[in-house]
């Protein structure tokens, strides 16, 4: 079964050569992730795409779902993205390959907006000076009790930043609209050693480390000393 009863014949899927990026289930997860990123409900996206909310539910929740080409095109338009992005064709590319928009301007974010965007959690970049020079490392992070915190292994490179001044940056890029934002936190990294606090961080963390939990039982918190942010807007 590739769709719900009553689906248009033109919406039936065409043969697709599956890969790690386009295998069944991956498209549904990307649709759900993009929908959540835009803050849209299934009903809203379905209405935009001219399909049934139940079918969208099927795509997002069924590992074997593989929508037809016409459905993908409409969903990409509804989600303000591209078919290639939904298929995972852009997953291995760095963000920002889209062309700059005309009449763009750089706007400073106020403190509250910086904190709001930072608290969406996810992956950020940790920058610090080490004995081997300047490093920038991606880490899974959470904002707990207003502070950036992440888990790492005691001997790993992020752990070497404990006690040092660091910078931590998160950003988001909208390729379709050539817009984006970034937030930068400056502060000192410190290891969390209080067992009570560690248990609280474990309980409230947004995500486990993508690279696996084994051996990554050291929590590092950044004691904020400054936070700034900017976004690119198109007039």
Q: Is 3 part of any domain?
A: no
Q: Are residues 81 and 123 in the same domain?
A: no
Read off the CATH number of the domain in which 214 is found. Answer: 2.30.110.10
Asked if 68 contacts 2 with a C-beta cutoff of 8 angstroms, the reply is yes
Read off the CATH number of the domain in which 51 is found. Answer: 1.10.260.40
Q: Are residues 113 and 182 in the same domain?
A: yes
What pLDDT score was predicted for residue 226? 95
The domain in which residue 181 lies consists of: 104-234
Q: Are residues 18 and 126 in the same domain?
A: no
Q: Is 94 part of any domain?
A: no
Put simply, whether the predicted model's pTM sits higher than 0.75 gets the answer no
Q: Which residues of 201-211 are buried (b: 16+ CB within 10 A; e: fewer)?
A: beeebeeebee
What pLDDT score was predicted for residue 4? 37
Q: Which residues of the chain have pLDDT under 70?
A: 1-25, 89-101, 175-177
What pLDDT score was predicted for residue 110? 94
What pLDDT score was predicted for residue 196? 95
What pLDDT score was predicted for residue 8? 32
What pLDDT score was predicted for residue 9? 30
Those residues with Cβ within 8 angstroms of residue 232's Cβ, 6 or more apart along the chain or in another chain: 104, 105, 106, 107, 178, 179, 180, 181
């Amino acid at each position: 079964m590739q769709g719900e009863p009553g689906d248009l014949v033109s919406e039936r899927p065409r043969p697709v050569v599956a890969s790690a990026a386009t295998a069944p289930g991956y498209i549904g997860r990307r649709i759900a992730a993009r929908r959540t990123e835009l803050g849209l409900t299934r009903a809203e996206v379905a209405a935009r795409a001219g399909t049934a909310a139940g079918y969208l539910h099927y795509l997002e929740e069924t590992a074997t779902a593989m929508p037809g080409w016409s459905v993908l095109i409409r969903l990409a338009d509804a989600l303000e993205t591209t078919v290639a992005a939904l298929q995972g064709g852009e997953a291995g590319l760095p963000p920002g390959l889209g062309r700059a928009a005309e009449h763009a301007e750089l706007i400073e974010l106020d403190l509250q907006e910086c904190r709001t965007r930072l608290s969406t959690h996810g992956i950020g970049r940790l920058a610090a000076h080490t004995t081997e020079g300047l490093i920038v490392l991606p880490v899974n992070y959470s904002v707990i009790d207003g502070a950036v915190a992440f888990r790492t292994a005691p001997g790993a490179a992020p752990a070497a930043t404990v006690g040092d001044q660091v910078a931590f940056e998160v950003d988001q890029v909208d390729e379709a609209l050539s817009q984006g934002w970034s937030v930068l936190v400056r502060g000192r990294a410190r290891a969390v050693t209080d067992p009570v606090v560690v248990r609280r961080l474990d309980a409230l963390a947004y995500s486990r480390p993508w690279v696996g939990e084994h051996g990554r039982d050291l929590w590092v918190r950044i004691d904020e000393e400054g936070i700034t942010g900017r976004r690119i807007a198109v007039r």
